[in-house]
Amino acid sequence: MSAPNPTIIIFTFETTHQALWAEEVAQEQGLPCEVAPAPPEVDAKCGLSIRTPESQADRMAEAFAEEGIEFGRVEAPD
């Protein structure tokens, strides 16, 4: 029996600049992240998103907020 897949949290942004800035902040903080296209189900103005395991999402959100990066946060659609 295999372990269930971890829940992925998707961060969305208003601009490409914010998405790339957020990626830089995540990397500086040593937080695991993956830049990927924003899913079509998510109403995002920017076509980029950042994905991270749910276990790291609160830390990532705090880091973005401290830097003044505006973001949306949703669970990855199934």
Q: What is the pLDDT of residues 22-36, one digit of tens each?
A: 999 999 999 999 999
Distance from C-alpha of 40 to C-alpha of 66, rounded to nearest angstrom: 28
Tell me whether residue 3 is in a domain.
Answer: no
- Quick: pLDDT tens for 12-65: 999 999 999 999 999 999 999 999 999 888 877 889 999 999 999 999 999 999
Residue 17 lies in a domain: yes
- Using DSSP's 3-state secondary structure scheme, residue 32 falls into coil
Question: Within a domain: residue 68?
Answer: yes
Query: In the prediction, which pLDDT does 78 show?
Result: 55
Output the pLDDT for position 3. 55
48: domain CATH number is 3.30.70.260
Q: Give residue 2's pLDDT band: very low, low, confident or very high (50, 70, 90).
A: low
Q: Which two tokens stand for residue 22?
A: 């957020």
